[in-house]
Structure 1
Amino acid sequence: MAPVYRVAVIQMWPKPMAMERNFNVAADFVRAAAKQGAELAVLPEYHLLNWYPHDPGFKDACAHWKTYLDKYLALANECSINIVPGTLVELHDAGTKDERLLNVAYFITDRGEIAGKYVKKNLWGDIERLHLTSSSDDPHPVFDTPLGKVGMLICWDLAFPEAFREMISQGAKIIIIPTFWTLTDCSKAGLAINPVSEGLFLDSMLTARAFENTCAIVFANAGGPPGKGYAGLSQVCVPYAGALTRLGSAAEGMAVVDLDMQIVEDAEENYQVRSDLARSDWHYEYRHNKSDTKL
Protein backbone atom coordinates (compact mmCIF):
# COMPACT_ATOMS: atom_id res chain seq x y z
CA MET A 1 0.00 0.00 0.00
CA ALA A 2 1.09 3.56 -0.68
CA PRO A 3 1.86 5.86 2.28
CA VAL A 4 -0.58 8.26 3.94
CA TYR A 5 0.80 11.72 4.72
CA ARG A 6 -0.83 14.19 7.09
CA VAL A 7 -0.72 17.60 5.41
CA ALA A 8 -1.56 21.12 6.66
CA VAL A 9 -2.53 23.95 4.32
CA ILE A 10 -2.22 27.34 6.00
CA GLN A 11 -4.28 30.23 4.66
CA MET A 12 -2.85 33.49 6.01
CA TRP A 13 -3.70 37.14 5.67
CA PRO A 14 -0.23 38.72 5.32
CA LYS A 15 -0.30 42.17 6.90
CA PRO A 16 1.46 44.54 4.48
CA MET A 17 5.14 45.10 5.27
CA ALA A 18 4.86 43.40 8.68
CA MET A 19 7.57 40.80 8.22
CA GLU A 20 8.22 39.79 11.83
CA ARG A 21 4.53 39.83 12.74
CA ASN A 22 3.68 37.63 9.76
CA PHE A 23 6.48 35.19 10.53
CA ASN A 24 5.25 34.81 14.10
CA VAL A 25 1.69 34.11 12.89
CA ALA A 26 3.04 31.56 10.41
CA ALA A 27 5.19 29.89 13.06
CA ASP A 28 2.18 29.56 15.38
CA PHE A 29 0.26 27.83 12.59
CA VAL A 30 3.17 25.49 11.87
CA ARG A 31 3.52 24.55 15.54
CA ALA A 32 -0.23 23.89 15.73
CA ALA A 33 0.00 21.70 12.63
CA ALA A 34 2.87 19.71 14.14
CA LYS A 35 0.83 19.13 17.32
CA GLN A 36 -1.90 17.64 15.13
CA GLY A 37 0.60 15.21 13.65
CA ALA A 38 1.10 16.97 10.33
CA GLU A 39 4.17 15.88 8.40
CA LEU A 40 4.02 18.83 5.98
CA ALA A 41 2.89 22.45 6.41
CA VAL A 42 2.51 24.76 3.40
CA LEU A 43 2.17 28.56 3.58
CA PRO A 44 1.02 31.05 0.92
CA GLU A 45 3.09 33.06 -1.53
CA TYR A 46 4.20 36.53 -0.30
CA HIS A 47 3.20 35.56 3.24
CA LEU A 48 5.90 37.68 4.92
CA LEU A 49 5.33 41.04 3.23
CA ASN A 50 2.16 40.78 1.14
CA TRP A 51 2.73 42.19 -2.37
CA TYR A 52 3.72 45.84 -1.97
CA PRO A 53 6.58 46.36 -4.46
CA HIS A 54 5.98 50.14 -4.65
CA ASP A 55 6.46 50.59 -0.91
CA PRO A 56 9.75 52.44 -0.28
CA GLY A 57 10.80 49.77 2.22
CA PHE A 58 9.86 46.71 0.17
CA LYS A 59 13.19 46.11 -1.52
CA ASP A 60 15.17 46.64 1.68
CA ALA A 61 12.91 44.18 3.49
CA CYS A 62 13.56 41.59 0.77
CA ALA A 63 17.27 41.83 1.58
CA HIS A 64 16.52 40.01 4.87
CA TRP A 65 15.25 36.82 3.21
CA LYS A 66 18.13 34.69 4.53
CA THR A 67 17.25 35.61 8.13
CA TYR A 68 13.75 34.21 7.66
CA LEU A 69 14.89 31.17 5.73
CA ASP A 70 17.14 30.33 8.68
CA LYS A 71 14.19 30.83 11.05
CA TYR A 72 12.15 28.32 9.05
CA LEU A 73 15.02 25.84 9.01
CA ALA A 74 15.16 26.05 12.81
CA LEU A 75 11.36 25.82 13.10
CA ALA A 76 11.23 22.68 10.95
CA ASN A 77 13.91 21.05 13.08
CA GLU A 78 12.21 22.17 16.31
CA CYS A 79 8.82 20.74 15.29
CA SER A 80 10.07 17.78 13.22
CA ILE A 81 7.86 18.86 10.33
CA ASN A 82 8.50 19.47 6.65
CA ILE A 83 7.73 23.07 5.67
CA VAL A 84 7.20 24.90 2.41
CA PRO A 85 7.29 28.47 3.77
CA GLY A 86 5.22 30.00 0.99
CA THR A 87 7.65 32.12 -0.96
CA LEU A 88 10.47 34.41 0.09
CA VAL A 89 11.17 37.40 -2.14
CA GLU A 90 14.94 37.58 -2.29
CA LEU A 91 17.04 40.61 -3.18
CA HIS A 92 20.30 39.61 -4.88
CA ASP A 93 23.26 41.75 -6.02
CA ALA A 94 21.71 44.89 -4.56
CA GLY A 95 22.95 48.14 -6.05
CA THR A 96 24.65 46.50 -9.05
CA LYS A 97 23.62 46.15 -12.69
CA ASP A 98 22.73 42.54 -11.87
CA GLU A 99 20.30 43.47 -9.05
CA ARG A 100 17.22 41.28 -9.10
CA LEU A 101 14.28 40.18 -7.00
CA LEU A 102 13.49 36.46 -7.08
CA ASN A 103 10.29 34.86 -5.81
CA VAL A 104 11.45 31.57 -4.31
CA ALA A 105 9.77 28.53 -2.75
CA TYR A 106 11.82 26.15 -0.60
CA PHE A 107 11.13 22.61 0.55
CA ILE A 108 12.55 22.29 4.07
CA THR A 109 12.73 18.82 5.59
CA ASP A 110 11.72 17.82 9.09
CA ARG A 111 15.43 17.84 9.99
CA GLY A 112 15.79 21.49 9.08
CA GLU A 113 17.54 20.91 5.76
CA ILE A 114 16.78 22.30 2.31
CA ALA A 115 15.66 19.53 -0.06
CA GLY A 116 15.23 21.91 -2.97
CA LYS A 117 14.06 25.29 -4.16
CA TYR A 118 12.11 26.70 -7.08
CA VAL A 119 12.15 30.23 -8.54
CA LYS A 120 8.81 31.36 -9.97
CA LYS A 121 8.80 31.03 -13.76
CA ASN A 122 5.49 32.44 -15.02
CA LEU A 123 5.10 35.99 -13.72
CA TRP A 124 1.67 37.60 -13.56
CA GLY A 125 1.55 40.45 -16.09
CA ASP A 126 3.27 43.77 -15.47
CA ILE A 127 2.23 43.51 -11.82
CA GLU A 128 5.14 41.11 -11.33
CA ARG A 129 7.20 41.46 -14.51
CA LEU A 130 8.15 45.04 -13.69
CA HIS A 131 9.70 43.93 -10.40
CA LEU A 132 10.69 40.26 -10.44
CA THR A 133 13.13 38.14 -12.43
CA SER A 134 11.78 34.74 -13.46
CA SER A 135 13.60 31.41 -13.68
CA SER A 136 13.19 31.77 -17.45
CA ASP A 137 13.98 28.56 -19.33
CA ASP A 138 15.53 26.73 -16.37
CA PRO A 139 14.05 23.22 -16.07
CA HIS A 140 11.32 22.59 -13.52
CA PRO A 141 13.07 20.69 -10.71
CA VAL A 142 11.79 17.67 -8.80
CA PHE A 143 13.09 16.92 -5.30
CA ASP A 144 13.59 13.79 -3.22
CA THR A 145 11.87 14.53 0.10
CA PRO A 146 10.55 12.60 3.11
CA LEU A 147 7.22 12.60 1.20
CA GLY A 148 8.71 11.09 -1.94
CA LYS A 149 9.33 12.95 -5.17
CA VAL A 150 7.86 16.46 -4.99
CA GLY A 151 7.57 19.29 -7.49
CA MET A 152 6.75 22.92 -6.71
CA LEU A 153 5.03 25.69 -8.63
CA ILE A 154 4.07 29.21 -7.58
CA CYS A 155 0.69 30.84 -8.21
CA TRP A 156 0.28 31.70 -11.92
CA ASP A 157 2.42 28.68 -12.86
CA LEU A 158 -0.74 26.69 -12.15
CA ALA A 159 -2.21 27.91 -15.45
CA PHE A 160 0.47 26.13 -17.49
CA PRO A 161 -0.09 22.37 -17.86
CA GLU A 162 3.35 22.03 -19.46
CA ALA A 163 4.91 22.68 -16.06
CA PHE A 164 3.05 19.74 -14.54
CA ARG A 165 3.98 17.45 -17.43
CA GLU A 166 7.66 18.29 -17.01
CA MET A 167 7.63 17.38 -13.31
CA ILE A 168 5.35 14.36 -13.65
CA SER A 169 7.67 12.92 -16.29
CA GLN A 170 10.45 13.13 -13.67
CA GLY A 171 8.43 11.09 -11.20
CA ALA A 172 6.79 13.77 -9.02
CA LYS A 173 3.58 12.56 -7.40
CA ILE A 174 2.92 15.57 -5.16
CA ILE A 175 2.89 19.13 -6.52
CA ILE A 176 2.99 21.94 -3.94
CA ILE A 177 1.73 25.39 -4.97
CA PRO A 178 2.09 28.44 -2.66
CA THR A 179 -0.16 31.16 -4.07
CA PHE A 180 -1.30 34.77 -3.73
CA TRP A 181 -4.34 34.68 -6.02
CA THR A 182 -7.14 37.21 -5.58
CA LEU A 183 -10.64 37.60 -6.97
CA THR A 184 -9.59 40.98 -8.40
CA ASP A 185 -7.07 39.33 -10.71
CA CYS A 186 -10.04 38.99 -13.06
CA SER A 187 -10.76 41.68 -15.66
CA LYS A 188 -13.79 43.98 -15.44
CA ALA A 189 -15.39 42.05 -18.29
CA GLY A 190 -14.96 38.78 -16.44
CA LEU A 191 -16.18 40.18 -13.12
CA ALA A 192 -19.30 41.46 -14.84
CA ILE A 193 -20.09 37.90 -15.90
CA ASN A 194 -19.07 36.23 -12.64
CA PRO A 195 -17.83 38.16 -9.57
CA VAL A 196 -16.16 35.01 -8.26
CA SER A 197 -14.73 33.93 -11.59
CA GLU A 198 -11.25 33.44 -10.14
CA GLY A 199 -12.61 30.99 -7.59
CA LEU A 200 -14.11 28.96 -10.43
CA PHE A 201 -10.77 29.19 -12.25
CA LEU A 202 -8.87 27.84 -9.24
CA ASP A 203 -11.24 25.00 -8.37
CA SER A 204 -11.48 23.93 -12.01
CA MET A 205 -7.74 23.98 -12.66
CA LEU A 206 -6.76 22.22 -9.45
CA THR A 207 -9.21 19.39 -10.07
CA ALA A 208 -8.23 19.09 -13.74
CA ARG A 209 -4.50 19.09 -13.02
CA ALA A 210 -4.89 16.36 -10.38
CA PHE A 211 -6.83 14.16 -12.80
CA GLU A 212 -4.78 14.78 -15.94
CA ASN A 213 -1.47 14.14 -14.15
CA THR A 214 -2.59 11.48 -11.65
CA CYS A 215 -1.00 13.51 -8.87
CA ALA A 216 -1.85 15.12 -5.54
CA ILE A 217 -1.81 18.92 -5.30
CA VAL A 218 -1.22 20.89 -2.10
CA PHE A 219 -2.44 24.44 -2.75
CA ALA A 220 -2.01 27.18 -0.10
CA ASN A 221 -3.44 30.59 -0.99
CA ALA A 222 -3.66 33.86 0.93
CA GLY A 223 -6.90 34.64 2.71
CA GLY A 224 -8.09 37.83 4.30
CA PRO A 225 -10.97 40.01 5.45
CA PRO A 226 -14.23 39.74 3.47
CA GLY A 227 -14.57 42.36 0.77
CA LYS A 228 -10.80 42.73 0.27
CA GLY A 229 -10.71 40.46 -2.77
CA TYR A 230 -8.88 37.47 -1.29
CA ALA A 231 -9.72 34.24 -3.09
CA GLY A 232 -8.53 31.73 -0.48
CA LEU A 233 -9.77 28.22 -1.39
CA SER A 234 -6.61 26.55 -0.05
CA GLN A 235 -7.00 22.81 -0.56
CA VAL A 236 -5.46 19.39 -0.99
CA CYS A 237 -6.70 17.94 -4.26
CA VAL A 238 -6.49 14.41 -5.71
CA PRO A 239 -7.99 12.47 -8.61
CA TYR A 240 -11.41 10.86 -8.08
CA ALA A 241 -12.21 12.85 -4.92
CA GLY A 242 -11.24 16.39 -5.91
CA ALA A 243 -10.61 18.50 -2.80
CA LEU A 244 -10.00 16.37 0.31
CA THR A 245 -10.19 19.59 2.32
CA ARG A 246 -10.94 23.14 1.20
CA LEU A 247 -10.88 26.40 3.13
CA GLY A 248 -13.27 29.28 2.51
CA SER A 249 -12.73 32.23 0.25
CA ALA A 250 -11.66 34.78 2.82
CA ALA A 251 -10.98 33.16 6.17
CA GLU A 252 -7.52 32.97 7.71
CA GLY A 253 -7.04 29.48 9.07
CA MET A 254 -5.61 26.02 8.62
CA ALA A 255 -6.85 22.65 7.46
CA VAL A 256 -5.11 19.37 8.29
CA VAL A 257 -5.95 16.31 6.22
CA ASP A 258 -4.66 12.79 5.61
CA LEU A 259 -3.41 12.47 2.05
CA ASP A 260 -3.67 8.80 1.00
CA MET A 261 -1.25 8.35 -1.88
CA GLN A 262 -2.98 5.10 -2.82
CA ILE A 263 -5.56 7.33 -4.53
CA VAL A 264 -2.81 8.59 -6.83
CA GLU A 265 -1.62 5.05 -7.55
CA ASP A 266 -5.18 3.85 -8.27
CA ALA A 267 -5.76 6.80 -10.62
CA GLU A 268 -2.56 6.04 -12.51
CA GLU A 269 -3.53 2.38 -12.84
CA ASN A 270 -6.81 3.54 -14.37
CA TYR A 271 -5.71 6.47 -16.56
CA GLN A 272 -2.09 5.41 -17.26
CA VAL A 273 -0.94 9.01 -17.76
CA ARG A 274 2.58 8.37 -16.51
CA SER A 275 2.81 5.22 -18.57
CA ASP A 276 1.91 7.14 -21.69
CA LEU A 277 4.39 9.90 -20.92
CA ALA A 278 7.12 7.27 -20.61
CA ARG A 279 6.43 5.76 -24.04
CA SER A 280 8.98 6.34 -26.76
CA ASP A 281 6.09 6.86 -29.22
CA TRP A 282 4.09 9.29 -27.07
CA HIS A 283 3.13 12.22 -29.45
CA TYR A 284 0.89 10.21 -30.28
CA GLU A 285 1.67 7.21 -32.40
CA TYR A 286 -0.25 4.09 -31.44
CA ARG A 287 -0.05 1.10 -33.76
CA HIS A 288 -2.46 -1.77 -33.50
CA ASN A 289 -0.76 -5.08 -33.00
CA LYS A 290 -2.97 -8.15 -32.97
CA SER A 291 -0.53 -10.05 -30.80
CA ASP A 292 -0.90 -7.39 -28.10
CA THR A 293 -4.70 -7.20 -28.24
CA LYS A 294 -6.40 -7.76 -24.91
CA LEU A 295 -10.12 -8.35 -24.65
Structure 2
Amino acid sequence: MTAFVLAGAQYAPRIGEVAANIDLSEHWIREAAAAGARLVVLPEAASAGYVFDDRAEAERYAEPFPGGSVHRAWSALAAELGLWIVGGVTERAGERLYNSAVLVGPHGHAGTYRKAHLWNDEQRIYDRQDDGLPVFSTPLGEIAVGICYDAWFPETFRSAALAGADLLALPANWVPVPGQPDTVPVMADMLCMTGAHSNQMYVAGISRTGTERGQEFIGRSLIAGPEGWPLAGPAGPVADELLLAEVDLIGSRPARHHNPFNQPLADRRTDLYRSGPLARP
Protein backbone atom coordinates (compact mmCIF):
# COMPACT_ATOMS: atom_id res chain seq x y z
CA MET A 1 0.00 0.00 0.00
CA THR A 2 1.65 3.24 -1.11
CA ALA A 3 -1.11 5.71 -0.27
CA PHE A 4 -0.43 8.23 2.50
CA VAL A 5 -1.77 11.48 3.93
CA LEU A 6 -0.31 14.71 2.54
CA ALA A 7 -0.79 17.82 4.68
CA GLY A 8 -0.51 21.51 3.92
CA ALA A 9 -0.30 24.01 6.79
CA GLN A 10 -1.66 27.47 5.98
CA TYR A 11 -0.69 30.02 8.65
CA ALA A 12 1.15 33.33 9.15
CA PRO A 13 4.87 33.30 9.98
CA ARG A 14 6.22 36.37 11.79
CA ILE A 15 8.86 38.53 10.16
CA GLY A 16 12.24 38.44 11.88
CA GLU A 17 11.10 36.03 14.61
CA VAL A 18 12.93 32.83 13.78
CA ALA A 19 12.46 31.16 17.18
CA ALA A 20 8.73 31.97 17.22
CA ASN A 21 8.41 30.67 13.65
CA ILE A 22 10.06 27.41 14.64
CA ASP A 23 7.45 27.07 17.38
CA LEU A 24 4.64 27.87 14.93
CA SER A 25 5.88 25.32 12.42
CA GLU A 26 6.24 22.71 15.16
CA HIS A 27 2.60 23.24 16.15
CA TRP A 28 1.40 22.62 12.59
CA ILE A 29 3.76 19.72 11.96
CA ARG A 30 2.53 17.99 15.11
CA GLU A 31 -1.09 18.69 14.15
CA ALA A 32 -0.41 17.10 10.76
CA ALA A 33 1.31 14.09 12.33
CA ALA A 34 -1.64 13.59 14.69
CA ALA A 35 -3.88 13.47 11.60
CA GLY A 36 -1.70 10.74 10.10
CA ALA A 37 0.36 12.82 7.67
CA ARG A 38 3.59 11.45 6.24
CA LEU A 39 4.45 14.66 4.35
CA VAL A 40 3.81 18.24 5.52
CA VAL A 41 4.18 21.30 3.29
CA LEU A 42 4.66 24.68 5.00
CA PRO A 43 4.44 28.17 3.44
CA GLU A 44 7.17 30.11 1.68
CA ALA A 45 9.55 32.04 3.98
CA ALA A 46 8.31 30.04 6.98
CA SER A 47 11.57 30.50 8.86
CA ALA A 48 11.89 34.30 9.01
CA GLY A 49 9.00 36.03 7.25
CA TYR A 50 9.00 37.68 3.86
CA VAL A 51 8.65 41.47 3.47
CA PHE A 52 12.20 42.54 4.27
CA ASP A 53 13.19 46.16 3.75
CA ASP A 54 16.41 45.23 2.00
CA ARG A 55 19.06 42.56 1.60
CA ALA A 56 20.84 43.55 4.81
CA GLU A 57 17.71 42.90 6.88
CA ALA A 58 17.12 39.54 5.19
CA GLU A 59 20.74 38.57 5.88
CA ARG A 60 20.25 39.19 9.62
CA TYR A 61 17.66 36.43 9.77
CA ALA A 62 19.12 34.06 7.20
CA GLU A 63 20.56 30.71 8.26
CA PRO A 64 22.59 28.01 6.56
CA PHE A 65 20.70 24.86 5.69
CA PRO A 66 21.86 22.43 6.92
CA GLY A 67 23.49 23.88 10.00
CA GLY A 68 21.05 26.43 11.45
CA SER A 69 18.37 26.36 14.13
CA VAL A 70 15.55 25.71 11.65
CA HIS A 71 17.43 22.73 10.22
CA ARG A 72 17.97 21.28 13.68
CA ALA A 73 14.33 21.76 14.69
CA TRP A 74 12.78 20.33 11.53
CA SER A 75 15.23 17.41 11.43
CA ALA A 76 14.41 16.50 15.03
CA LEU A 77 10.67 16.67 14.34
CA ALA A 78 10.94 14.61 11.17
CA ALA A 79 12.95 11.94 13.00
CA GLU A 80 10.64 11.88 16.03
CA LEU A 81 7.41 11.79 14.02
CA GLY A 82 8.62 9.68 11.09
CA LEU A 83 7.55 12.13 8.42
CA TRP A 84 8.81 14.47 5.70
CA ILE A 85 8.70 18.27 5.72
CA VAL A 86 8.88 20.83 2.91
CA GLY A 87 9.18 24.41 4.12
CA GLY A 88 10.41 27.81 3.02
CA VAL A 89 13.61 29.23 4.51
CA THR A 90 15.71 32.37 4.16
CA GLU A 91 18.98 30.65 3.30
CA ARG A 92 22.53 31.93 3.68
CA ALA A 93 25.08 30.02 1.60
CA GLY A 94 28.46 31.66 2.06
CA GLU A 95 28.11 35.18 0.67
CA ARG A 96 24.96 34.32 -1.21
CA LEU A 97 21.36 34.73 -0.05
CA TYR A 98 18.43 32.69 -1.33
CA ASN A 99 14.69 32.39 -0.99
CA SER A 100 14.70 28.61 -0.61
CA ALA A 101 12.55 25.64 0.27
CA VAL A 102 14.00 22.53 1.85
CA LEU A 103 13.03 18.88 2.06
CA VAL A 104 13.72 17.21 5.40
CA GLY A 105 13.04 13.58 6.19
CA PRO A 106 13.38 11.17 9.10
CA HIS A 107 17.11 10.91 8.36
CA GLY A 108 17.71 14.65 8.02
CA HIS A 109 18.18 17.12 5.19
CA ALA A 110 17.26 15.54 1.85
CA GLY A 111 17.41 18.50 -0.54
CA THR A 112 17.26 22.25 -1.10
CA TYR A 113 15.52 24.15 -3.86
CA ARG A 114 16.34 27.83 -4.44
CA LYS A 115 13.63 29.96 -6.03
CA ALA A 116 14.20 30.26 -9.77
CA HIS A 117 11.79 33.07 -10.62
CA LEU A 118 12.27 36.08 -8.36
CA TRP A 119 9.25 38.31 -7.92
CA ASN A 120 9.17 42.06 -7.35
CA ASP A 121 11.60 43.16 -4.58
CA GLU A 122 13.05 39.65 -4.39
CA GLN A 123 15.20 40.66 -7.34
CA ARG A 124 17.12 43.18 -5.24
CA ILE A 125 17.25 41.06 -2.07
CA TYR A 126 18.11 37.54 -3.19
CA ASP A 127 20.66 35.95 -5.48
CA ARG A 128 19.55 34.08 -8.56
CA GLN A 129 20.09 30.36 -8.51
CA ASP A 130 21.77 28.34 -11.23
CA ASP A 131 21.01 24.91 -9.75
CA GLY A 132 18.05 24.07 -11.96
CA LEU A 133 14.84 22.32 -10.93
CA PRO A 134 15.80 19.17 -9.02
CA VAL A 135 13.58 16.20 -8.20
CA PHE A 136 14.23 14.37 -4.94
CA SER A 137 13.76 10.62 -4.50
CA THR A 138 11.95 9.55 -1.32
CA PRO A 139 10.13 6.40 -0.17
CA LEU A 140 6.89 8.34 -0.74
CA GLY A 141 7.67 9.07 -4.38
CA GLU A 142 9.59 11.53 -6.53
CA ILE A 143 9.15 15.03 -5.12
CA ALA A 144 9.92 18.29 -6.92
CA VAL A 145 9.83 21.64 -5.13
CA GLY A 146 8.91 25.11 -6.40
CA ILE A 147 8.15 28.38 -4.66
CA CYS A 148 5.18 30.72 -5.21
CA TYR A 149 5.90 32.77 -8.40
CA ASP A 150 7.44 29.67 -9.97
CA ALA A 151 3.83 28.53 -10.55
CA TRP A 152 3.39 31.37 -13.07
CA PHE A 153 5.77 29.53 -15.42
CA PRO A 154 4.48 26.35 -17.07
CA GLU A 155 8.09 25.29 -17.46
CA THR A 156 8.24 24.71 -13.71
CA PHE A 157 5.56 22.02 -13.83
CA ARG A 158 6.72 20.56 -17.13
CA SER A 159 10.39 20.37 -16.09
CA ALA A 160 9.42 18.57 -12.89
CA ALA A 161 7.16 16.13 -14.73
CA LEU A 162 9.76 15.36 -17.39
CA ALA A 163 12.26 14.62 -14.63
CA GLY A 164 9.85 12.06 -13.19
CA ALA A 165 8.20 14.03 -10.39
CA ASP A 166 5.05 12.58 -8.89
CA LEU A 167 4.41 15.70 -6.81
CA LEU A 168 5.31 19.37 -7.03
CA ALA A 169 5.37 20.82 -3.51
CA LEU A 170 4.95 24.56 -3.78
CA PRO A 171 5.39 26.66 -0.61
CA ALA A 172 3.92 30.08 -1.39
CA ASN A 173 3.10 33.58 -0.18
CA TRP A 174 0.30 34.35 -2.62
CA VAL A 175 -0.85 37.96 -2.84
CA PRO A 176 -3.93 39.50 -4.49
CA VAL A 177 -3.82 39.64 -8.30
CA PRO A 178 -5.17 42.95 -9.68
CA GLY A 179 -8.52 42.60 -11.40
CA GLN A 180 -9.27 39.16 -9.91
CA PRO A 181 -13.03 38.50 -10.43
CA ASP A 182 -14.99 37.10 -7.53
CA THR A 183 -16.65 34.59 -9.85
CA VAL A 184 -13.60 32.42 -10.56
CA PRO A 185 -10.96 30.69 -8.40
CA VAL A 186 -7.92 32.79 -7.51
CA MET A 187 -5.22 32.81 -10.18
CA ALA A 188 -2.76 30.77 -8.11
CA ASP A 189 -5.27 27.96 -7.65
CA MET A 190 -6.08 27.91 -11.36
CA LEU A 191 -2.38 27.69 -12.20
CA CYS A 192 -1.84 24.82 -9.75
CA MET A 193 -4.87 22.93 -11.03
CA THR A 194 -3.83 23.44 -14.66
CA GLY A 195 -0.24 22.47 -13.93
CA ALA A 196 -1.38 19.29 -12.21
CA HIS A 197 -3.75 18.36 -15.04
CA SER A 198 -1.44 19.09 -17.96
CA ASN A 199 1.49 17.29 -16.34
CA GLN A 200 -0.41 14.40 -14.73
CA MET A 201 1.04 14.90 -11.26
CA TYR A 202 0.00 16.02 -7.81
CA VAL A 203 0.51 19.67 -6.82
CA ALA A 204 0.45 21.08 -3.28
CA GLY A 205 0.36 24.88 -3.35
CA ILE A 206 0.49 25.92 0.30
CA SER A 207 0.30 29.64 1.01
CA ARG A 208 0.15 31.83 4.11
CA THR A 209 -2.37 34.14 5.74
CA GLY A 210 -2.22 37.58 7.33
CA THR A 211 -0.67 40.94 6.50
CA GLU A 212 3.03 41.71 6.84
CA ARG A 213 4.26 45.31 6.68
CA GLY A 214 1.20 46.31 4.68
CA GLN A 215 1.37 43.36 2.27
CA GLU A 216 -1.78 41.24 2.30
CA PHE A 217 -1.57 37.48 1.74
CA ILE A 218 -4.57 35.58 0.44
CA GLY A 219 -4.26 32.03 1.79
CA ARG A 220 -6.27 29.84 -0.63
CA SER A 221 -3.94 26.85 -0.25
CA LEU A 222 -4.77 23.87 -2.44
CA ILE A 223 -3.82 20.24 -2.98
CA ALA A 224 -4.66 19.09 -6.51
CA GLY A 225 -4.70 15.57 -7.88
CA PRO A 226 -3.19 14.54 -11.23
CA GLU A 227 -6.50 15.16 -12.99
CA GLY A 228 -6.27 18.77 -11.83
CA TRP A 229 -9.23 18.71 -9.44
CA PRO A 230 -8.82 19.76 -5.79
CA LEU A 231 -8.31 16.97 -3.28
CA ALA A 232 -8.21 19.46 -0.40
CA GLY A 233 -9.02 23.16 -0.41
CA PRO A 234 -8.97 25.74 -1.66
CA ALA A 235 -8.58 27.02 1.88
CA GLY A 236 -10.14 30.31 2.90
CA PRO A 237 -8.44 33.69 2.64
CA VAL A 238 -8.09 34.49 6.34
CA ALA A 239 -8.13 31.52 8.71
CA ASP A 240 -5.14 29.37 9.54
CA GLU A 241 -5.96 25.89 8.33
CA LEU A 242 -4.57 22.39 7.91
CA LEU A 243 -5.36 20.74 4.58
CA LEU A 244 -5.30 16.93 4.41
CA ALA A 245 -5.50 14.69 1.35
CA GLU A 246 -4.85 11.02 0.81
CA VAL A 247 -2.50 10.63 -2.14
CA ASP A 248 -0.72 7.75 -3.84
CA LEU A 249 2.32 9.09 -5.66
CA ILE A 250 3.83 5.72 -6.55
CA GLY A 251 0.72 3.59 -6.98
CA SER A 252 -0.94 6.11 -9.29
CA ARG A 253 1.85 6.07 -11.86
CA PRO A 254 0.33 3.48 -14.25
CA ALA A 255 -2.97 5.34 -14.48
CA ARG A 256 -1.25 8.72 -14.82
CA HIS A 257 1.26 7.64 -17.45
CA HIS A 258 -0.99 5.39 -19.54
CA ASN A 259 -4.24 7.30 -19.87
CA PRO A 260 -5.94 5.84 -22.99
CA PHE A 261 -7.52 9.19 -23.92
CA ASN A 262 -4.61 11.59 -23.70
CA GLN A 263 -1.06 11.70 -22.44
CA PRO A 264 0.05 15.34 -22.26
CA LEU A 265 3.68 14.36 -21.75
CA ALA A 266 3.92 11.65 -24.39
CA ASP A 267 1.80 13.53 -26.93
CA ARG A 268 3.99 16.64 -27.01
CA ARG A 269 5.16 17.92 -30.42
CA THR A 270 8.66 19.06 -29.55
CA ASP A 271 9.45 19.35 -33.26
CA LEU A 272 7.04 22.30 -33.46
CA TYR A 273 7.79 24.20 -30.28
CA ARG A 274 9.96 27.28 -30.05
CA SER A 275 12.15 28.19 -27.13
CA GLY A 276 14.53 30.95 -26.27
CA PRO A 277 14.90 34.11 -24.22
CA LEU A 278 12.58 37.07 -24.35
CA ALA A 279 13.95 40.37 -23.13
CA ARG A 280 12.39 41.70 -19.93
CA PRO A 281 10.93 45.17 -20.53
Larger Rg: 1
Aligned residues of 1:211 and 1:240 also touching (Cα < 8 A): yes
In 2, Cα distance between equivalents of 1:52 and 1:241: 31
Q: Which residue identity does 1:134 align to in structure 2?
A: R
In 2, Cα distance between equivalents of 1:133 and 1:115: 22
Aligned residues of 2:58 and 2:125 also touching (Cα < 8 A): no
| Displacement after TM superposition at 1:245 (Å) | 0.7
Aligned residues: 265
Stretches of structure 2 that go unaligned for 5 or more consecutive residues are: 274-281
Percent identity, aligned pairs only, is: 27
- From the two aligned structures, give the one with the greater helix fraction: 1
* 2:93 aligned partner: 92
| Displacement after TM superposition at 1:52 (Å) | 3.2
* 1:53 aligned partner: 52
Equivalent runs, 1:77-116 vs 2, <5 Å: 77-84=79-86, 86-93=87-94, 99-109=95-105, 111-116=106-111
Residues 101 and 215 of structure 1: CA distance in aligned 2, closer, same or farther (over 3 Å): same
User: What is the aligned counterpart of 1:229 among 210, 216, 222?
Assistant: 216
* 1:269 aligned partner: 258
Q: 1:134 and 2:136 equivalent?
A: no
Q: Deviations over 1:259-288 (max 9, x none)?
A: 2446664343222223336xxx74359xxx
* 2:278 aligned partner: none
* 2:186 aligned partner: 200
Aligned residues of 1:75 and 1:112 also touching (Cα < 8 A): no
* 1:239 aligned partner: 226
Residues 116 and 27 of structure 1: CA distance in aligned 2, closer, same or farther (over 3 Å): same
Aligned residues of 2:71 and 2:109 also touching (Cα < 8 A): no
Residues 264 and 11 of structure 1: CA distance in aligned 2, closer, same or farther (over 3 Å): farther
Aligned residues of 1:199 and 1:231 also touching (Cα < 8 A): no
SS in 1 for 2:265: helix
Q: 1:179 and 2:179 equivalent?
A: no
Please, what TM-score do these two structures have when normalized by structure 2? 0.85
Q: 1:62 and 2:62 equivalent?
A: yes
Q: Which residue identity does 1:259 align to in structure 2?
A: V
In angstroms, what is the RMSD of aligned CA positions? 2.6
Aligned residues of 2:135 and 2:163 also touching (Cα < 8 A): yes
SS in 1 for 2:25: helix
| Displacement after TM superposition at 1:139 (Å) | 2.4
Residues 272 and 206 of structure 1: CA distance in aligned 2, closer, same or farther (over 3 Å): same
In 2, Cα distance between equivalents of 1:196 and 1:264: 36
In 1, Cα distance between equivalents of 2:215 and 2:266: 44
Stretches of structure 1 that go unaligned for 5 or more consecutive residues are: 94-98, 286-295
Aligned residues of 2:43 and 2:171 also touching (Cα < 8 A): yes
Q: Which residue identity does 1:74 align to in structure 2?
A: A
Q: Deviations over 1:122-161 (max 9, x none)?
A: 0002x1000001214x321111112111111111111111
SS in 2 for 1:273: coil
Please, what TM-score do these two structures have when normalized by structure 1? 0.81
Equivalent runs, 1:71-82 vs 2, <5 Å: 71-82=73-84
Q: Deviations over 1:32-76 (max 9, x none)?
A: 111111000110001122213227754222146622112111110
In 2, Cα distance between equivalents of 1:164 and 1:228: 27
Residues 115 and 48 of structure 1: CA distance in aligned 2, closer, same or farther (over 3 Å): closer
Aligned residues of 1:178 and 1:220 also touching (Cα < 8 A): yes
In 1, Cα distance between equivalents of 2:263 and 2:181: 37
Residues 117 and 263 of structure 1: CA distance in aligned 2, closer, same or farther (over 3 Å): same
